[in-house]
Structure 1
Amino acid sequence: MLPNTTVMNGPCAYLATERRRLAALKYEHFEVTQLSATIGGEIQGLDLTGPLSDEVIAEIRKALHDYKVIFWRNQPLTTDQHVAFASRFGSLETHPFLPPNTNQPELVRFAKNVNTSGYENGWHHDVTWRAEPSMGAVLHAITVPAVGGDTLFADMYAAYDGLPDAVRERVDTMTAEHDFMSAFGRLLPKGERDEMRERYPLVTHPVAPTHEATGRRYLYVNRYFTSRILGVSDAESIELIEMLSRQADYPEYQCRYRWENDSVAFWDNRAVQHYAASDYWPEKRVMERASVIGSRPTV
């Protein structure tokens, strides 16, 4: 059985070392303001609407791996520019369940108003139910409320590192099933649900994969899409999913971003979970997201 509580592993040395590491970083083509101890950097001195050299793109990728999520202010991207920028990091996915921008199928449009309240207020990685989940996402704020509608991001390296030693040793060898049904299946008529189940069967991923770019392990379990931990009883699977999902709740592992119109975020969908605060109804909030196809998580 697992411990009943999820206490951070002492002061979590990762927090201290990562805070110092980020504070010492320098980049050639832009400056970055560190937003929290281990996660989040806001970039200054870069215009995403203009041409970007391969050297700049490589340095943005490095900043993404360093900070896990990076932000820009005052970036009035057109839909074409949004897609073009995200495409510099890989092929873009189309989402089978969420509404696209009518002109750009690679852009998912999140439009909330008095008639449609926010529903993404839960910690999650995107599309872990895919065999090859997205490696990252570029989110453009088009219209944001005067107050509220922030997005929170959690460092899943820290979440892994902060586990009690005995729990971390166990999850190192565990795998989990991921499923779209709990989040999206209930919204579909039965015939379409059966078709989507055939297209997107249950997939398994390591509970603690190794990041292909950084070589660091991270937690890859979330309440939205992780349906079962394999190799344990149903009761222990439920307990494990809940315990591991709660690791994202620690403020020490988080940064919170206050959006402005034409802010842009780019997060590493492997090393980061996110949570969109639904505290702005009945105001309007419109965002568009491009997601970059990744590879299958491995140990």
Structure 2
Amino acid sequence: MSNPLQAKSAAQATLRIKPVTPFLGAEVEGIDLSCQLDAQAREQIRLALLEHEVLVFRGQNLTLDQYVVFGQIFGEVQASAKSFFDKHDSHPFVEVLENDAQRPPSINVWHSDITWQKEPPLGSCNYVRALPEVGGDTMWASMTAAYDRLSPSMQAYLADKQAVHTWEKSGFTEYLQSKGREQYHAAQAKYPPVVHPVIRTHPETGKKIVYVNETFTSHIVGLSREESEAILGYLYQLPRLPELQVRFRWEKDSIVVWDNRSTQHYAVADYFPHHRKLFRMTIGGDAPF
């Protein structure tokens, strides 16, 4: 009888990374994430994320523990993502994003995850557990490619600019207010507004990234309201360019991991009132510079 671990290790040799667009997104094939991946496979996946910014793994049947082990390829999985989503009943590392007729989808806005913290996530990961028959896709946009589209003059102008990020600009405000004033005021005290560079540098690739998003960025420091709104309005349009986007259709047992430092994403809300359920995992990051 063959050794199952040997069989799984042999399967890692077939790992294939297939780009989906010229700027971002790749499908990773020929690998079973439920097995114990060797160092070479883990590093290949980690480097693929840096290159393609969004990776899709289809046909993966994982326990939550195995899911967390997968996330650790990219960094430290946070026991609490410090967001306002519900946590899984039996696993502190996993959040539950679930929508149906009683819980309409509400994150159909372009954003990067949790930029309203001093150290936003390195990356995020979603594992689909329930899907509508059609709809419910997710889109990503490369903010690295967005920076490259800026004119040299605009790149130079934005180089030293900083912007304020706050969760109070988003739908989280109404969500927390619905849970009571005490919880809302506690969140205000715990998570005050933070300041990040408008153009951040990727800590691993050294590439420049447009690092503002219309969901959490309130204004550019040192500019008048009119000036700030004009510049941010232009930057907010960049993720909407199809040339910078990739769109993935979810399939049962699919996992997508993305670099939260260099992308924005948009959860398409076209499936209401049907059921959609994802497990989300957040990978710890550091302060943007």
Identify the residue that residue 70 of structure 1 maps to in structure 2.
Answer: 55
Question: Do the aligned partners of 2:54 and 2:256 also contact (CA within 8 Å) in 1?
Answer: yes
**Structure 1 residues 162-214: Cα deviation after superposition (integer angstroms, max 9, x where no partner):** 12332222111100111011221332233222222221111111111110110
User: Which of 171, 187, 196 pairs up with 2:175?
Assistant: 187
Q: SS of 1:106's equivalent?
A: strand
Identify the residue that residue 231 of structure 1 maps to in structure 2.
Answer: 222
Q: Does 1:89 align with 2:74?
A: yes
Identify the residue that residue 168 of structure 1 maps to in structure 2.
Answer: 155
Distance 1:274 1:29 in 2: 30
Identify the residue that residue 6 of structure 2 maps to in structure 1.
Answer: none
Distance 2:232 2:215 in 1: 10
Identify the residue that residue 140 of structure 2 maps to in structure 1.
Answer: 153
Identify the residue that residue 291 of structure 1 maps to in structure 2.
Answer: 282
Count of residues in correspondence between the two structures:
272
Question: Do the aligned partners of 1:69 and 1:268 also contact (CA within 8 Å) in 2?
Answer: yes
Distance 1:119 1:28 in 2: 41
Structure 1 unpaired stretches of 5+: 1-26
**Structure 1 residues 211-267: Cα deviation after superposition (integer angstroms, max 9, x where no partner):** 011010001100111111101001111222221111000000011001101011010
Distance 1:56 1:197 in 2: 42
Q: CA RMSD in A?
A: 1.5
Distance 2:201 2:235 in 1: 17
Question: Do the aligned partners of 2:46 and 2:73 also contact (CA within 8 Å) in 1?
Answer: no
Question: Do the aligned partners of 1:29 and 1:56 also contact (CA within 8 Å) in 2?
Answer: no
Paired residue type of 2:86: P
Q: Does 1:106 align with 2:93?
A: yes
Paired residue type of 1:186: E
C-alpha distance 202-29 of structure 1, shift in aligned 2 (>3 A): farther
Distance 1:234 1:28 in 2: 55
Identify the residue that residue 41 of structure 2 maps to in structure 1.
Answer: 56
Report the identity percentage.
Answer: 35
User: Which of 246, 256, 262 pairs up with 1:265?
Assistant: 256
Question: Do the aligned partners of 2:169 and 2:217 also contact (CA within 8 Å) in 1?
Answer: no
Stretch of structure 1 that moved more, 252-261 or 31-40: 31-40
Deviation at 1:150, TM superposition (A): 0.5
Distance 1:28 1:131 in 2: 39
Stretch of structure 1 that moved more, 216-225 or 93-102: 93-102
Q: SS of 1:90's equivalent?
A: coil
**TM-score between the two structures when normalised by the length of structure 2:** 0.90
